[in-house]
Each structure stands twice: as structure tokens, then as C-alpha cells.
Amino acid sequence: MAEALEGRRSTRRTATLASLAAELGVSRTTVSNAYNRPDQLSPALRRRVLDTARRLGYPGPDPVARSLRTRKAGAVGLLLTEALSYAFRDPVAIQFLEGLALACEDNGSGLLLVPVSPEAEDVGAVSRAGVDGFVVYSMPDDDEHFAAVLERPVPVVVCDQPTDVPDVDRVGIDDQAAMVELARHVAELGHRKIGVLCMRLSLDRNDGFASVERQDSARYEVQRRRIAGLRDGFVEAGVDWSTVPVVERFDHTEAAGANGLEQMLAQHPDVTAVLCTSDILALGALRSARSSGRDVPGELTITGFDGVPAAERNGLTTVRQPSLDKGRAAGELLLDRGDRQRSRTLLLPTELMVRATSGPPPR
């Protein structure tokens, strides 16, 4: 194996498109078509070109030179403000990524992940990305990386946030309305002593209680709207929102959900329901509650948001959103530009899933 690899390295690029064409007795256009427009050749001729290229060590047209010539990179860029591993660890991101990949497959395009830390200021990764357009996945308001995307002369589609960006397509859900429906469900069960466990609200790390002012000024619009939906639903039921404890976690992990619940109940032991703005946080809270001997939902109701597979396995009451469909729709909007003059916004439906973790408060 080592000898074979060494042999391939030693013969790499010993042939050029011109020398390959001369060897075959065909035009350079014929060789180029074998790689770029295979429908222009018979299967037998294309196979002869590719077999000869492999024997002579010709790897095909230089992709960099080709992109410079065609001014097409052949790839879609996905911008997300997380570490690269987040896209393969978070179940909602995984579903979204699968949907986007399906849209790229249908179009014959590649997919380039452009992860940037929420605490980083360098926008170089955005400027260097060789892509034909960007899908921006849930960025905070006024983010410098998003601003760098908008400076590129390529189409852009936003998933979730930020909203109301001129000349940019958007795919999302009505987070606020979905949370109002969930809040009404919990209020109708009789809960008035509630708490909220939310994802990060802004770029500065705050692993603690979030004031009403911080909630209202959150740079992450999705979290701002989800909390606003809970507030609307419980204010309808007569709850004074200023008395509702909201615990924020910067990291989106089950461990963060578990210690967030512990922090909340340590200061507010009278809470009978904890509404989480994601399933990941809710699953961590559920694990913490059960490990400490609390009966769910007999003593404590716990709800989530997203509808990930683990939520169903654990009987979690939640709001299910179509994350895979979001990704596919974002890709299709980006790749099927058509001849149009105005941006489009596509809001996908959500569904309240009432399961085993919500029940009446203890008497």
C-alpha cells in the first residue's frame, strides 16, 4: 500500500490536459468534457479518457483555476456561530444540516461549513470562504460575521435570525406564537409558580438569572421571542412576569440544563413548572430532577422546545419544529434564485406535543 501511494505521488500531475489530448488523439475540449460535461461524450469515449488520465497521472482540471474561470465555487457556505463540532453534536443542528445537504445534493452543489465562535471578532473565515452563497444559521443581531456575509456579492438566506434584513430571504417559524400555545397549556393545568430556563441571550457569558431588561434586550432574537411568548401566555393567566425567575445558560448542553435547574430551585423552591427554551436544556433539567428524587410531573412539570428524537423517547412535553425541512427550504431558496426582485420569508408550522412531563401542580 505504501509503495502504491508513493508511486501515485511521484506521478502526480506529470500529464497536462494538452498532453492527455495528444496521447488520446482527441481535442482538449473532449478531455475537458469528460470531467465537466460528461453528457457530451459517449460512455465508451469518456471511460477511455478517464482511464488514460489515471494511467498518465492526470488528476483532472484544477478546481481553483476552474472556479476562477467560471466564477463559480460549486458550494454553499453554512455560517454558524458555534464550534465546528456543534453541527454534528446538537440534534437540531444535525437535522437542519441534513436538510440543507439534501437541497445541495439535488442541485449538485457542495457544502462548506464556516463555523465562527460567538466570542471571536475575526471575520476572515467569511471573507476567505469560496462559496456561491451563504445560509446563515441563527446568528445574533448586529453580528460582525453576518455583516461580513452581507458585504459579499453573493445571495444570502437566513435561517431563524436575524429577521427583517433587507433583500435577504429567510426561513423560520413563529417562535413567539408557538411558546404562547405552550404557556397556555401549562397555565391551563393550573401552574402559576413557574420558572424559565433559556439559552444564551447575548454574546457576553451569563450563567445565572436574567433580568427582565436583559430578556427584552437579548441579541438572540429567537430566545427573545420565545421568552416573550411565555410571558404573553402567563400574563393572560394573571402571572406577574417580574416575579418569574429566568435562568440563562451560555452553553447549550444537557449539563447546562441540569445545573440550571439546580440553581433555579435552590433560590425558588416553590416553582412547580420549569419551561425550557430548548429540548437539550429540558432533557438536562429532567435528568437532574429525577436524579434528585423529584417526581415529574407530580412535583415538577418540565417542558422543552424543538422536538428532537430524545424528547419523544423521554416523554417530554415540547414544541416540535421541522428542523430538517428548515434546512432543505433554506438551501432551495438559495439555489433556486429565479428571476425575482423581492426577498421571500417562509414560515414553517410547529406542533405542540403534550406528553408525560407536564401535569397539574401538586396540591
**CA–CA separation, 352 and 241 (whole Å):** 23
* Residues 77-95, mean pLDDT to the nearest whole number: 88
* Residues 351-358, mean pLDDT to the nearest whole number: 98
Band the pLDDT of 339: cuts 50, 70, 90: low
Question: Is the CB of residue 208 less than 8 Å from the CB of residue 169?
Answer: no
| Predicted confidence (pLDDT) per residue in 162-185, tens digit | 888 888 999 999 999 999 999 999
Band the pLDDT of 236: cuts 50, 70, 90: very high
Band the pLDDT of 156: cuts 50, 70, 90: very high
* Residues 130-136, mean pLDDT to the nearest whole number: 90
* Residues 303-327, mean pLDDT to the nearest whole number: 97
Question: Is the CB of residue 140 less than 8 Å from the CB of residue 219?
Answer: yes
Q: What is the pLDDT of residue 72?
A: 63
* Residues 114-137, mean pLDDT to the nearest whole number: 80
Lowest mean pLDDT among 13-17, 27-31, 326-330: 13-17
Q: Scan for cell 501511494, then name that residue.
A: 5
Closest by CA to 273, choosing from 218, 317, 214, is 317
Band the pLDDT of 118: cuts 50, 70, 90: low
SS (H, E, C) 284-310: HHHHHHHHCCCCCCCCCEEECCECCHH
pLDDT reading at 111 higher than 90: yes
Q: What is the pLDDT of residue 120?
A: 64
Closest by CA to 25, choosing from 43, 42, 44, 49, is 49
Please give the residue that has the higher pLDDT: either 307 or 132: 307
* Cα R_g (the chain), whole angstroms: 26
Beta strands, E only, the chain? 75-80, 110-115, 134-137, 156-159, 169-172, 194-198, 208-209, 246-248, 273-276, 301-303, 318-320, 345-347, 351-353
Band the pLDDT of 143: cuts 50, 70, 90: confident
Q: Which helix (H) or strand (E) holds 186?
A: helix 175-188
Cβ-Cβ contacts under 8 Å for 196 (sequence gap 6 or more) = 227, 230, 244, 245, 246, 247, 274, 275, 276, 277
Please give the residue that has the higher pLDDT: either 112 or 9: 112
Q: What is the pLDDT of residue 100?
A: 96
Q: What is the pLDDT of residue 122?
A: 66
Band the pLDDT of 217: cuts 50, 70, 90: very high
Percent of the chain exceeding pLDDT 70 equals 90
Please give the residue that has the higher pLDDT: either 64 or 338: 338
Q: Scan for cell 471573507, then name that residue.
A: 127
Please give the residue that has the higher pLDDT: either 21 or 206: 206
Question: Is the CB of residue 220 less than 8 Å from the CB of residue 163?
Answer: no
In the sheet that holds 156-159, the strands lie side by side as 110-115, 75-80, 134-137, 156-159, 169-172, 345-347
pTM of the model: 0.80
Bin 71: left if φ > 0, else alpha if -120 < ψ < 50, else beta: left
Q: What is the pLDDT of residue 1?
A: 43
Q: What is the pLDDT of residue 70?
A: 44
Q: What is the pLDDT of residue 346?
A: 95
Cβ-Cβ contacts under 8 Å for 14 (sequence gap 6 or more) = 56, 57, 58
Q: Scan for cell 506521478, then name that residue.
A: 11
Please give the residue that has the higher pLDDT: either 86 or 244: 244
Cβ-Cβ contacts under 8 Å for 343 (sequence gap 6 or more) = 166, 167, 168, 169, 170
Band the pLDDT of 14: cuts 50, 70, 90: low
Please give the residue that has the higher pLDDT: either 37 or 261: 261
pLDDT reading at 85 higher than 90: no
